[in-house]
Amino acid sequence: MSRAQVLILGSGTPNAEADRVSAGIAIAVDDQPYLFDCGHGIVQRVVQARDAGLVNWDTSDLTRLFVTHLHADHSVGLPDLLFTPWIHGREEKLVACGPPGLKHMARHILLAYEANIREHRAAHPSSERGYQIDAREIEAGLCYQDERIDVHALAADHGDLAAFSFKVITGAGTVVISGDTKPVPAFADWARGCDVLIHELYSSAQFGARPPAWQRYHARVHTSTAELAALAREIRPGRLLLYHQLFWGLTPDELVAEVKQGYEGCVISTKDLDIFDITN
């Protein structure tokens, strides 16, 4: 059986926090990492995880990326992901799968950093491919497959922006990552019975204290604790991991308690560098 782990690299939101960077999850199968989103600080978190002995792989092994959507807190780390692992010795192109607009973003990042690329290529014996990106704009369905994993995409609902949730099938079990989304009717059937469900959320209890404009926004594009509890009752995941958490003054334990008002399964509020084994 394959050995597979989930490493929470970034558990935060667009808000800068002292102890959380923005969205990034690594699923490692037999020590080959697959990265889902790359907010700010994700490459640094990989360095920290290796230094702490949490993982055996390193930044130069980051060769596969799946982007849920193009909001900055899920994609602003892309230049870092292209160039830092290249300096660390990555020899492969980065294969990046995501929504429409990803190719445009990738092309302009390379243009913006063309002086950096030229100088490093002149000064160091760096790989000719390690900084390059193979950007693939995907549709719902099976979007990636290799000898270790199958990755399926489902259209998410994050307002007017194209967005996906991802289901990752490994030999050790199945992981579903919501990305940013309000509840989607097809999601429960699609995710049912997964071993690990990683889902965004905001506090239902604190929602009423938010300004009206923010209430309208969050209700339209995100998932409340009450909505997530209802989803989890249908999906029955082995573990429910919370990320991209809008606490609005609550503690992690209080946010978990909100979910558990409507769902009796295992619920964990994640923090950066939490690591979990995936088991069938």
pLDDT tens digit sequence for 94-103: 999 999 999 9
pLDDT tens digit sequence for 163-180: 999 999 999 999 999 999
What average pLDDT does this structure show over 71-80?
A: 97
Label residue 139 by pLDDT band (50, 70, 90): very high
Q: Is 271 left (phi over 0), alpha (psi -120 to 50) or beta?
A: beta
Kindly tell me if the per-residue pLDDT of 82 is higher than 80.
yes
pLDDT tens digit sequence for 35-59: 999 999 999 999 999 999 999 999 9
* Burial (Cβ within 10 Å: 0-12, 13-18, ≥19) of residue 120: middle
* Burial (Cβ within 10 Å: 0-12, 13-18, ≥19) of residue 128: exposed
Would you say 156 and 164 are in contact if contact means Cβ atoms under 8 Å apart? yes
Comparing CA positions, the residue from 182, 140, 184, 122 lying closest to residue 158 is 182
Q: Which residue has the higher pLDDT, 189 or 122?
A: 189
Q: What is the pLDDT of residue 192?
A: 97
Q: Which residue has the higher pLDDT, 129 or 144?
A: 144
In angstroms, how far is CA 165 from the centroid of its own chain? 9
Predicted model pTM: 0.96
What are the sequence ranges of the domains in the chain?
4-277
The Cα 189–Cα 26 span in angstroms is: 24
Comparing CA positions, the residue from 193, 216, 205, 199 lying closest to residue 247 is 205
Kindly tell me if the per-residue pLDDT of 273 is higher than 90.
yes
Q: What is the pLDDT of residue 1?
A: 64
Kindly tell me if the per-residue pLDDT of 280 is higher than 70.
no
Q: What is the pLDDT of residue 127?
A: 78
Would you say 141 and 153 are in contact if contact means Cβ atoms under 8 Å apart? yes
pLDDT tens digit sequence for 109-130: 999 999 999 988 888 777 788 9
Label residue 68 by pLDDT band (50, 70, 90): very high
Q: Which fold has domain 4-277?
A: Metallo-beta-lactamase; Chain A (3.60.15)
CA quadruple 110, 47, 92, 23: dihedral positive or negative? Answer: negative
Comparing CA positions, the residue from 257, 152, 151, 255 lying closest to residue 201 is 255
pLDDT tens digit sequence for 228-240: 999 999 999 999 9
The Cα 185–Cα 160 span in angstroms is: 17
Q: What is the pLDDT of residue 240?
A: 98
